Structure 1
Amino acid sequence: MNIELYHSVKELFHEKKINSPSIKSDNDEVNQIVQLINENNLKEDHEIIISIRKLLWNENIIEEIEDIETFIIQSIILWRYNLIDYVDLKVLVNLLFIKEALDDASLVFLSDLLLLENELSPIHEWLKSILDKLLEIGNHIPNLGIVISLYGEITGTETFEYQSIISVVETLESRPEYFSELVELTPSKDLVSVLPWLNWGNKRLVTNYLIEKEISELDETTFIDSLNNKIQTSNNILNDLPISYPVLEKKITNIPAQTLDSHDYENIPSKFVSEWAPKFVYSRPEIKQKIKIFFPGGNEIGHSAIMIKTNEGIILLDFGLSVVNNSFPKWSHLLEKVDVVLLSHAHLDHSGGFPLLYHNNRKLPWFAKKETKIMSEMLWNDTANIVGRNVNDAIKNKTAFRHIANQKNIRNALDNYNEIDLQTEIKVLPKVTVKAYNAAHLFGSVGYELNIDGKRILYTGDFNLDIMQKNKGKQFPSDIDGLIFDGTYWGRPSEYPNPKPTLKEVLDNSTRVIIPAFSMGRSQEMLFQLKQLGAEKKWKIYITGMGGRLVRKLHLTIGPSGGGRSSGVHITGTVLPEDFTDNSIVIGGQGMLQAGTSRNLLESTSDDSKTSIVLCGYQAPNTLGYHLLNKNTYLKAKYKQQVYRINLSGHSSAKTLDNYVNSINGTKIIVHSPSDAKEQIGKSDVIVPQSPINF
């Protein structure tokens, strides 16, 4: 990116005066967009905005953009003046990055502009801010040498003192054969400082080396006191770690052993009794329990992850992948010493990051319902295939994609799976038991009640109280000390009102129907509704791709042949336009119409007003489905089909959720919520977590 143009745009953002003469540059297209905004002549259907939308909708390809630098600068300016959403910009940057249209230098300039700060912070603060912003945008860790060099270029300052840590990062990343020698020669404080700039695999290796080194150097005669001191020191690698077996390993024998009886082993899964024995034998029951909750996945919808630390260990709840911008929960050294993982359900924003946890044949037990394991395996393999097809090796090696797409990691994750039964208490740590409840969100979805030394914390995962109450089955408990809840519709109406017309009315007024639906849950629910209407008597019903495979995998009842012709339902890989004849209904994947069978059929029937599109799931603001529903002018002219919305939310409605949350007297923490949740809440007793919480 041109440094003069960067400074001009930065000044423009600081002043927020669009007619500032300082923005004038040699780039006529940038000057043009500034003038249009200044004159209030830049509307939704302007060609500049439509060109961005077409890229986001997969209508255009990146190779058609003549000047990437101008394009991204225009996009940043449009975002700054609220003409495109932040999610649009994040997706756009990820597309350009994956296709190698943006290099590390451009990403750094872009991140600094997004910080919206006029003056640069001191270099150590700026480096952290830049990395945090890049990880917020997507799955990017730039070359540290380039980042530091750009700081010097922007500020005119010398950065020679950083050459040693730049060298450490570059050697660790490019010469793994020298790992042992390098870490032994590098001061621990320097290794800690480079951790954020390493790829995921090297983060794990360096962290485990540092923890083992720190523990090996503790004075044996004052072991517990020395360890406690380091755990409480914020700049030490042991900070916040529990005194647990995964942390201490062989050194755990420095803790006085407890005499256990048969009662202490009750509810430990039988396969783990001998393996987990040291956790219980060398626990410290006399120490007052301290519970601390961390939120590496943040509080918004995207990539859920919550860590609960007790005196004797760490429990991880979910570990997702954002399908919007390919980002993961924020890395923490605590992730390397997790004792057990509890997965609420299979959706990628809760399960998609699992292969990262199972790098290097790591042994880490995780629990979930068997349906969740089946669907997670399908989604992980599908994600690996997509990454393999669309991301080249250079980008994979720079990012966590290499671990997500690694079949060894996926197999290792599956090997560590353990089934959990509903309403059955299991003991996973000293003084910690877990019980699963049906969450009515997806096949196999559960919420978890953790009883930690008498304190009961409920993590709902994604849940649908409306369905739970209709079914009158076992409900989530309300007499709890803490609630960590899915706040998708908290303080707001459901995403869309009750559908008008109904599904039956849509069928009555259509000759062909396309139902883009998420493969896990929505596809099967739409199929169930069609079967309830008896639609197979008149219509040829196709369910394609992963949605169809899941119908077979879970042995869902859709007819005597399990989906054969006699059931009126055809399970197939795809449906070609020439086979999409009158009286056909196709349930396809890609529920936001970004690609796949549904998108192909949308394009091939664009002139047919008797073909109907039924959208039945969440539509992200950057997607074609979202803009079709919101009657984008360009799309209305292009697509003549009728577009309908049928709400099949897997989340609790606002009213039902509000009633349940109000019934809780304990601490209430909202996660999985929209970005403006804090403004929507308006209640002092609901916490939007911005930092760890001592419980």
Structure 2
Amino acid sequence: CVEVLGNLNPVNLAEEDPAQCFLCLDAVIQTFCVLVPSLSNLQNWDFDDEDLRYVYRYSLGRLPHQSVDPTVRQALLLIEISSGTGAEQIVPSLRDWIAFLGSPYWKPQDFIKPASELGLPVEPVFESDEMRLTDSIRRYPEYLEEAVRNKSYLDVYKATRDWLPDVLSSRVFDIFRRRVNDEAQENIDSDADVSEAHRVIEKTYQKRRFMTNKGRVLPIRIQDLDSPPPPEAIEPVVFEMIPQKLRVELMPSVAYSGKTKQVEIVFLGGPGIGRSGILIRTDTSAILLDYGLSVANQRIPEWVPELEMIDCVLVTHSHLDHVGGLPALYENYTGKWCATGVTGAVSMTLLEDALKVGTPLPPRRHDKYDMVSRFNRRNIDRVKKSYVQLEAGKASELAGGMVVTPVEARHIPGSSAYLVDIEGTRILYTGDFNLDDSVLFHGANLPTDCDVVIFDGTYWGREDFDRKAVSDQVSQTIAKHGPVIIPTFAVGRSQEILVMLDELGVTSSRNVMVAGMAERVTKLTGYSGDWTGMKKNKVVLDVDDVLVAGGGMLDGGFAKMHYDEHRQNPDAAVILCGYLAPRTTGWNLMHGHETHTCAVEYARLSAHSSASNLAEFVGSCSGKKIMVHTPTKKVSGDVLLPEYRERIVLDV
């Protein structure tokens, strides 16, 4: 396969004939078809990035990754060369591909030989001092202390942040944190108060460049010293605002916090859809808003050193792209995570299910230096024990100087936006939210007078959807067909469909059943109606049956099983009603890649705000507007679209 790719010699191909660039990608897929003969039916498709990711994941499920990885690296180089990418730009491009595919963070040196074979001289780039440091740490992690001796943290962080696995980045940080805190401790007088200790630590951090950029040191946590000075008294009104279950963990953060000069918002994840994660830090404290896992590529949010210094985690809702990274975080994190009651209960159920179905995928599951490998039974148990319930509308101090109020987001049952007040600077993080009325809720009512609003832009600038038309479509399809299979997402969509069927009278005229995870979550969220749970001994659907089951993309579970049973039944129907990831069974069905004679309908529903209501809300907001969770690549006007790991600083 490598020989096939090497013989293409696509150097300067883009300049000679840009159309040939697409043939290079086609050749990559053809190469994978050689690897996996059962994929030969892909040869007539129009390929894109999603195809490459799909074939990569498919191959890993059937071949040892040692035989797949070299070909993938060759393929990525081929794509970049055919696109005209030069040696200097190849490093960030490859890093983006690695993140997109969900591959391991391969060593930079792994690309030197295949790049040379394709005519791209990358040795000067991959053998720079920065890359050599990264390579030495990866090759000899047991000598980590020696590798970073006589270096500042800022220099090491900048040199290694793009290619060093997260676990090793965390170890590097711990070494420097221990060094600078020990030095600061030696310089603090025994009778120093909190203010004096803060000044000494800040001066030490500046001297030793314990920072991620030249302008600001990392959060100063006096409580992390071996012998901190006596804390300042906490005012009774502040003490009462700390949730009782959080007081032991948060009292040091509150007692040692001081008036902050700047607030920094760090986007660890979330600019695109999947792996949401936003960190808000002050001079002394930090909170984490969501910590998700991308189902598409098994990525969790980007690692930054402040992730090791957070006081609390706030989860907006129970979808895995917002909560799925928690088990990886809890390998080292010992604090609490907070959410409203429904979100807490459903999140733990979905984490259990994700582990059961094989999350994370190999080979990264077995890579001890990849943080996602920490998604395991032990850490899920830690997540369960560390949950603290919040109440919508009630303000709580969840880190020093940070007062947080959950606000109903109306995305799915239990979903919340968070209003974070930092000494009068108000930041609203909407999470996924819905301003439209649905059968489950009225639209969300969120404040518009905040200094910053970080909002979900899923449907920014895209066509609106019509819930009334969907209701009519579902009703007409069920009236004409039987049995009917409705694959749904277990949280939110299942309940919306069930309530819709109840309101349409379908539950009175047909045997409506809910099964699998959809049934479990429906019970957890408290919804009830004239539907029934699917009996365990029912293995065949009857003509009168309407099945609502988890697995909204039709890739598994009861919905997939009964679809396979009835796909060639012209009287049966499948109603797809949610997002369909490329190359899933549901996506294939909608795009003509699944043979069937049953009826297929796409009843488009969404738990996100429609484009028109979203634009109206954002237009009414008076502060800085930052859009996340969106496929949009460019925006105009006063809306900001952050990059991964981008930092936005606010003066307080």
- Normalising by structure 2, report the TM-score: 0.84
Aligned to 2:193: none
More moved, 304-313 vs 638-647: 638-647
**Structural mapping, 1:547-626, within 5 Å:** 547-558=518-529, 569-572=532-535, 576=539, 579-626=540-587
Q: CA RMSD in A?
A: 3.7
**Structural mapping, 1:665-680, within 5 Å:** 665-676=622-633, 678=634
Whole-angstrom CA distance in 1 between matches of 2:272 and 2:128: 39
Q: Does 1:654 align with 2:611?
A: yes
Q: Describe the superposition over 1:383-435 as per-residue Cα deviations: whole angstroms up to 9, x where unpaired.
A: 1122269646875557444212x111111112111000011000122321000
Aligned to 1:448: 418
* C-alpha contact (below 8 Å) 2:180/2:205 kept by paired residues: no
Whole-angstrom CA distance in 2 between matches of 1:142 and 1:310: 34
* Residues 135/245 of structure 1: CA separation in 2 closer, same or farther (3 Å cut): farther
* Residues 112/575 of structure 1: CA separation in 2 closer, same or farther (3 Å cut): farther
Whole-angstrom CA distance in 2 between matches of 1:591 and 1:373: 22
Matched residue SS, 1:293: strand
**Structural mapping, 1:428-439, within 5 Å:** 428-439=398-409
* C-alpha contact (below 8 Å) 1:257/1:283 kept by paired residues: no
Q: Does 1:494 align with 2:472?
A: no
Q: Does 1:212 align with 2:168?
A: no
More moved, 652-661 vs 527-536: 527-536
Whole-angstrom CA distance in 1 between matches of 2:441 and 2:359: 42
Post-superposition shift, 1:367? 0.6
* C-alpha contact (below 8 Å) 1:515/1:586 kept by paired residues: yes
Among candidates 76, 91, 104, match of residue 140 of structure 1: 104
**Structural mapping, 1:81-480, within 5 Å:** 83-99=46-62, 100=64, 103-115=68-80, 118=84, 120-122=86-88, 126-147=90-111, 150=114, 154-155=120-121, 157=123, 159=127, 166-172=135-141, 179=142, 182-184=144-146, 186-187=148-149, 189=151, 192=157, 193-194=159-160, 197-218=163-184, 220=187, 222-228=200-206, 230=208, 234=212, 240-245=217-222, 248-250=224-226, 253=229, 258-285=232-259, 287=260, 289-360=261-332, 362-387=333-358, 391=362, 395=366, 397=368, 399-404=370-375, 406-467=376-437, 475-480=445-450
Post-superposition shift, 1:327? 2.0
* Residues 245/554 of structure 1: CA separation in 2 closer, same or farther (3 Å cut): farther
* C-alpha contact (below 8 Å) 2:134/2:164 kept by paired residues: no
What is the one-letter code of the residue matched to 1:224?
A: E
Post-superposition shift, 1:251? 6.3
Aligned to 2:196: none
* C-alpha contact (below 8 Å) 2:624/2:639 kept by paired residues: yes
Whole-angstrom CA distance in 1 between matches of 2:572 and 2:439: 36
Whole-angstrom CA distance in 2 between matches of 1:97 and 1:570: 36
* C-alpha contact (below 8 Å) 1:12/1:18 kept by paired residues: no
What is the one-letter code of the residue matched to 1:620?
A: A
Post-superposition shift, 1:195? 6.0
Whole-angstrom CA distance in 1 between matches of 2:441 and 2:344: 24
* Residues 16/444 of structure 1: CA separation in 2 closer, same or farther (3 Å cut): farther
Whole-angstrom CA distance in 1 between matches of 2:438 and 2:543: 38
What is the one-letter code of the residue matched to 2:317?
A: H
Matched residue SS, 1:291: strand
Aligned to 2:192: none
Post-superposition shift, 1:523? 1.5
* C-alpha contact (below 8 Å) 1:544/1:573 kept by paired residues: no
Post-superposition shift, 1:626? 3.2
What is the one-letter code of the residue matched to 1:284?
A: G
* C-alpha contact (below 8 Å) 1:294/1:308 kept by paired residues: yes
Aligned to 2:197: none
Whole-angstrom CA distance in 2 between matches of 1:312 and 1:93: 43
* C-alpha contact (below 8 Å) 2:246/2:336 kept by paired residues: no
* Residues 596/151 of structure 1: CA separation in 2 closer, same or farther (3 Å cut): same
Post-superposition shift, 1:330? 1.6
Whole-angstrom CA distance in 1 between matches of 2:205 and 2:174: 16
Post-superposition shift, 1:185? 6.2
* C-alpha contact (below 8 Å) 1:104/1:143 kept by paired residues: no
What is the one-letter code of the residue matched to 1:354?
A: L
* C-alpha contact (below 8 Å) 2:360/2:373 kept by paired residues: no
* Residues 215/155 of structure 1: CA separation in 2 closer, same or farther (3 Å cut): same
* C-alpha contact (below 8 Å) 1:545/1:573 kept by paired residues: no
Whole-angstrom CA distance in 1 between matches of 2:415 and 2:272: 19
* Residues 335/90 of structure 1: CA separation in 2 closer, same or farther (3 Å cut): same
What is the one-letter code of the residue matched to 1:349?
A: D
Post-superposition shift, 1:278? 2.7
Whole-angstrom CA distance in 1 between matches of 2:128 and 2:620: 59
Post-superposition shift, 1:356? 1.0
* Residues 454/388 of structure 1: CA separation in 2 closer, same or farther (3 Å cut): closer
More moved, 211-220 vs 296-305: 211-220
Matched residue SS, 2:412: coil
Whole-angstrom CA distance in 2 between matches of 1:469 and 1:661: 24
Q: Describe the superposition over 1:321-376 as per-residue Cα deviations: whole angstroms up to 9, x where unpaired.
A: 1112222222222211111111000001111111110014x312111012112111
* C-alpha contact (below 8 Å) 2:276/2:291 kept by paired residues: yes
* C-alpha contact (below 8 Å) 1:115/1:133 kept by paired residues: no
Whole-angstrom CA distance in 1 between matches of 2:202 and 2:581: 50
Whole-angstrom CA distance in 1 between matches of 2:626 and 2:246: 32
Post-superposition shift, 1:274? 4.3
Q: Percent identity?
A: 27
Q: Describe the superposition over 1:486-526 as per-residue Cα deviations: whole angstroms up to 9, x where unpaired.
A: 11111221367833843222221112101011111212222
Post-superposition shift, 1:456? 1.0
* Residues 473/488 of structure 1: CA separation in 2 closer, same or farther (3 Å cut): closer
Whole-angstrom CA distance in 2 between matches of 1:324 and 1:224: 41
Matched residue SS, 2:317: coil
More moved, 315-324 vs 10-19: 10-19
* Residues 317/135 of structure 1: CA separation in 2 closer, same or farther (3 Å cut): same
Number of corresponding residues: 622
Q: Does 1:9 align with 2:21?
A: no
Post-superposition shift, 1:157? 4.5
Whole-angstrom CA distance in 1 between matches of 2:225 and 2:465: 49
Post-superposition shift, 1:186? 4.8
Aligned to 2:639: 686
Gaps of 5+ in 2: 189-199
Aligned to 1:562: none
More moved, 512-521 vs 496-505: 496-505
Post-superposition shift, 1:293? 1.0
* Residues 32/202 of structure 1: CA separation in 2 closer, same or farther (3 Å cut): closer
Whole-angstrom CA distance in 1 between matches of 2:217 and 2:94: 25
* C-alpha contact (below 8 Å) 2:484/2:574 kept by paired residues: yes
